[in-house]
Chains A and B, each alone.
Chain A
């Protein structure tokens, strides 16, 4: 069996373990061992992958394997990774690992769903068969409903319902899109590589069909990537979700959207991607600026962060649609960076909320004196979010802006400048929030008695900050890793699209 499947087996074993053990200690033991194993495998995979690449293995996907699953419909369990998936697996590993520590006191059922969600996420990133991918995608979405609906806060039923319904709506589009691609390419294979490279009975998808399936697939994944105007699940969902779920959702699940858009929608339908990019570019451009402006007037910390996620994830899709190497590399780095930063943000917000029992920034002030550790980390997270050099956000944004600005057409460059303006607005809302809740003097005497973070809480925060600073200080490693994965896809899109009337 291929060793990538370890990412599916570990969560399965964790589920089994959780089912068998009794008591909080046992649950924690299973979770810590399991998530550490996942993180360790992700790190090993990264090292191994880099070593293989350095050794000159230039295959598009490494460690591929395929097992027949349902032959009549040509569904295979096919796995394989390239630079993008490795980066995403690493991100998921870190977030699941830290998420475990953040949800330290939760019960068994919570962890069961949490693990199932991780299973879906890891499965999604390793699979290269469209149907298997879709299946893991659904596996990742469904637990969200229960996690928010049962363990959430505020109007959790409404939010859980909204989130699930909107994402399921996206899935419906997606499924149509996937079957459209499958039959459009000849109905012989679901494998992404086969369809892209026209192997194993796949033929090029007719352009008129691409025009139908591309928007469907893109919107389907775009819903999860907070594409305007399908982003409204994000503020409500994040605001109601329990801390670790927000982390996992904003940190990893939203990346499924961008990843899927790139890997399936754009990669498999290059002509349509080139022709229709402008529509989605405008939508994502709106997301970027609009999310930032909306964040300026929110009063709930989680809403601010959720709208900021809309803005930042909009930037991911924006850069992908520019269809050039630099921008796409920037997009993937932005996925990583945004994943880590929002996870950090949500973790900190959760910890502050756990103490003060309010997230309304008008009711909080002067927390710096009361909980210095959390506040300092909060400032770091905020500065990272607004693109402080030395943290990951800066690297991602600069790569995106430089890349996007290299587009040959003036229209796209003007759009890029519009997107750049989001960095100013980001500064406005981040500083507004930081200034209101952390600085000043605390006037609420209930808050004066609160304590700073415990060791178990400090640990994940420190891990996340180290990762963010790591990417920010030495971006060339990540950048090279990601670029290796992005290049063939971008070249494929450009190459196929450049051939006029190619396959007649």
Chain B
């Protein structure tokens, strides 16, 4: 099968970036938007065609889809052994799935942004960055080797930085973008060191794990490889906002909302999950215990983020924490995989792998919907605060319905997609340990609760009538234009249908071994989770749906400390602030700078003034009295004379 055209998937967005970036200044907004959208539209078609061709090509003899390598060339040789920095395109089931996720969401966001960013200054720049981001993210998923992944990994980080800081004249956006970049960069240091260790011991950077290079001193493999993998996971934890590296994601909501939908909900933040999935054969073979550590980190993150989400008042913050929580679900799913009895990877023990990828897929769709809905609402009321909303269902019917469906999906209510994927995650967790299973079920219940809290807070609850009247007086309070609602509707359709049409098929395309795997719904787990979800939805309805919320007020009053802590995100940000400013800046950088100016430089200045001082001392010898010189000369001559005689 020939996949030469896949190069265009990377090339087109890049060209679009170049054109928009270099010549955008002279374009009208419409032209710029069309260039960006059309190029991504073509890429989306190519991606779908690739998926069709790839999965349509049939399976190999061993029941797996063949890994295709249409391009691979040495981009930067390292001249040592088998190590080289390659660039290329690799297609395997998860790559193809990611291609679809990225291009679909990206296309929707491109269309949506026409309306959302309408008339905004820097419209061309916005589309240029979106194109660059899409290119980098696609480059990341098609990477043929870990270094290429790292390279595009850095690029998506920079795009995220540029897009979060899109409104660069406002201070919060600037500091949020800086924070996002530095936190992820710090995590990437772990990734880089992990890559170096991995490369050093295995002698290859390639993702082709069957052929490894000259493996040196692999006696230490039981320790070295898990270390390397865990370091790489730290990089993934940074991008995927795992505790305690999550602090940048809520702040990243300062960016334009479509950007949050694309980068900080659907694509870039799942890069960490994708990375673990990509290296899954190594994890499960060499480091299953470490993999379980990942699972527990994920579980804690999921719980923490869900707890914080219950107390936030900014709708984008709630969605951000719910994203953290859901990504943590995916991490947990990967982490609970256990080596099989016969082959190391079997589909039974590695159910979580499939569940994780499935959840990644469905989550991208419904979370993008949620963010885009939030964008519509923010577009209408010009505020992120729930207190400015309430009762919006009258004004925005389409947004209301789509938001509701997406919320039901994330809460795990059948027949929406989230139910199926989350159910697989719970099944995998129970398979690993009942404790993990119940913990995750509990967090799923919290998810349903806080998502409905925010849903009621926006569309029902207490309406801020005064504020809404004010908006109406100045213009219009109502549904967003079609260009914005259309992507919502499309994504919602996917959310509705992808669940109950795919469960049989998703597993047959994407699974740990690559062989077809038919998903069975475990009725016990399914019923439990649905019951619990419904119960928490009812609870949320009881508390938040009415126009006054006595219960919520009473709870807030009863546990003021707890609410305050959760609202302040358990002060993790403050701890970071303290460490960076008080410790690193004040106790490392400043003393070093002082040391440099005063000790190192002072030593040299001291040398110079020492030389000067000695000069001052010697100077009187040159008195300028000729006869004194003559005395000395004469005496010297006499002394020499005697010396010569002797």
Interface of A toward B, CB cutoff 8 Å: 162, 165-166, 228-229, 231-232, 290, 293-294, 296-298, 324-326, 329, 366, 368-369, 383, 386-390, 394-395, 398-399, 401-403, 405-406, 413, 416-417, 420-421, 423-424, 427-428, 431-432, 435, 438-441, 475-476, 479-480, 483, 487
**List of B residues within 8 angstroms of A390 by Cβ:** 155
Asked, given contacts A389-B155, A402-B196, whether A421 binds B189 with beta carbons under 8 Å apart, the answer is yes
What are the residues of chain A within 8 A of B593 when measuring CB–CB? 293-294, 297-298
Cβ B154 vs Cβ A387 within 8 A = yes
Given A329-B79, A413-B200, 5 new contacts (CB under 8 A): A368-B169, A390-B155, A403-B80, A431-B181, A439-B174
Cα–Cα distance between A479 and B177 once the two chains are bound (Å): 33
What is the chain B residue whose CB lies nearest that of A369?
B169
- Among B69-77, B315-323, B353-361, the stretch that binds chain A is B69-77
A440-B78 contact, Cβ under 8 Å, with A402-B199, A416-B196? no
A403 pairs with B169, CB closer than 8 A: no
Q: Are A483 and B77 in contact (CB under 8 A)?
A: yes
A-B contact pairs, 29 of them (CB 8 A): A162-B604, A290-B592, A294-B589, A294-B593, A297-B593, A326-B78, A326-B79, A368-B169, A369-B169, A386-B185, A389-B152, A398-B147, A399-B76, A401-B192, A401-B196, A406-B83, A413-B196, A417-B196, A420-B192, A420-B193, A421-B189, A424-B185, A427-B185, A435-B175, A438-B168, A440-B169, A440-B171, A476-B76, A476-B77
Residue of A nearest to B165 (CB): A439
| Docked complex: B165-205 residues within 8 A CB-CB of A | 165, 168-171, 174-175, 177-178, 181-182, 185-186, 189, 192-193, 196-197, 199-200
Q: How far in angstroms is the closest Cβ of chain B from A114?
A: 27
Contact call B200/A405, Cβ cutoff below 8 A: yes
Within the assembled complex, what's the spacing in Å between the Cα atoms of A413 and B83? Answer: 17
Q: Is B282 an interface residue (CB 8 A)?
A: no
Complexed CA–CA distance, A86 and B83 (Å): 26
- How many angstroms between the C-alpha atoms of A194 and B457 in the bound complex? 83
Question: Would you call B600 an interface residue if the criterion is a C-beta within 8 Å of the partner chain's C-beta atoms?
Answer: yes
Contact residue among A398, A405, A421, A435 (Cβ-Cβ distance under 8 Å from B76): A398
Q: List 8 tightest A-B contacts by C-beta distance, closest first.
A: A439-B168, A232-B601, A389-B151, A405-B196, A296-B589, A439-B174, A427-B185, A297-B589
Q: How far is the CA of A432 from the CA of B175 in the complex (A)?
A: 9
Which residues from A are CB-within-8-Å of B589? 293-294, 296-297
Identity of the chain A residue whose Cβ is nearest the Cβ of B174 in the assembled complex: A439
CB <8 Å contact, B76 and A406: no
A170 smallest CB distance to B (angstroms) = 12
B68 within 8 A of A: no
Interface bits B46-83 vs A (CB < 8 Å: 1, else 0): 00000000000000000000000000001111111001
Are A394 and B151 neighbours in the complex by a CB distance under 8 Å?
yes
Select which of B189, B596, B601 is within 8 A of A423 by beta carbon.
Answer: B189
Q: Which residues on A sit within 8 Å (CB–CB) of B293?
A: none
A25: shortest Cβ distance to chain B, in Å?
A: 32
Minimum C-beta distance from B41 to chain A (A):
25
A232 touches B604 (CB 8 A): yes
Q: Which of A293, A402, A480, A487 has the most CB of B within 10 A?
A: A402
Chain B residues whose CB sits within 8 angstroms of the CB of A229 once the complex forms? 600, 603
B78 lies within 8 A of A402 (CB): yes
Interface presence of B497 (CB below 8 A)? no
CB neighbours (8 Å) of A297 from chain B are 585, 589-590, 593
Q: Which residues of B contact A441 (CB under 8 A)?
A: 169
Contacts of A431 in B (CB 8 A): 161, 178, 181-182
Q: Is the CB of B585 within 8 A of A296?
A: yes
Query: Are B76 and A420 in touch, CB under 8 angstroms?
Result: no
> Which A residues are in CB contact (< 8 Å) with B152?
389
Interface range, B side: 35 or more
Q: Which residue of B lies closest to A405 (CB)?
A: B196
B256 CB to closest chain A CB (Å) equals 16
Docked-complex contact B189 and A479, CB < 8 angstroms: no
Write the nearest CB–CB distance from A401 to chain B, whole angstroms.
6
A475 touches B178 (CB 8 A): no
Residue of chain A at shortest CB distance from B85: A398
Q: Are B600 and A424 in contact (CB-based, < 8 A)?
A: no
In the complex, are the beta carbons of A290 and B596 less than 8 A apart?
yes
The one of B76, B168, B178, B186 that contacts A432, using a Cβ cutoff of 8 Å = B178
Is B588 an interface position by the 8 A CB rule? yes
Closest Cβ–Cβ distance, residue A105 to chain B (whole Å): 28
Q: Are B596 and A166 in contact (CB under 8 A)?
A: no
A424 to B186, CA, bound (A): 6
**Contact residues in B for A439 (Cβ distance below 8 Å):** 165, 168-169, 174
User: Does B158 make an interface contact (CB < 8 A)?
Assistant: yes
B632 at the interface (CB under 8 A from A): no
Contact among A294, A413, A420, A440 for B592, CB-based, below 8 A: A294
**Residues of A contacting B185 in the complex (Cβ-Cβ under 8 angstroms):** 386, 423-424, 427
Query: From residue B456, how far is it (CB to closest CB) to chain A in Å?
Result: 37
A232 to B196, CA, bound (A): 33
Indicate which residue in A369, A403, A435 contacts B174 across the interface (CB closer than 8 Å): A435
Our pick among B77, B169, B592 for the contact of A366 (Cβ within 8 Å) is: B169
Q: Is B608 part of the contact surface with A, judged by Cβ < 8 Å?
A: yes
Most B-side CB within 10 Å, residue of A229, A403, A413, A432: A229
A383 touches B76 (CB 8 A): no
Chain A hits for B83, CB < 8 A: 326, 402, 406
Output the residue of B83, B155, B185, B600 with the most chain A CB within 10 A: B185
Residues from chain A with Cβ under 8 Å of B74 in the complex: 476
Neighbouring B residues of A294 by C-beta, 8 Å = 589, 592-593, 596
How far apart sit A95 and B171, CA to CA, in the bound complex (Å)? 36
Q: How far is the CA of A267 from the CA of B161 in the complex (A)?
A: 44
CA gap between A297 and B596 in the complex, in Å: 12
CB of A165 within 8 A of CB of B168, answer no
Residue from the list A413, A424, A438, A483 in contact with B79, Cβ < 8 A = A483
CB distance from A420 to the nearest CB of B (A): 6
B-side contacts of A398, CB under 8 Å: 76, 85, 147
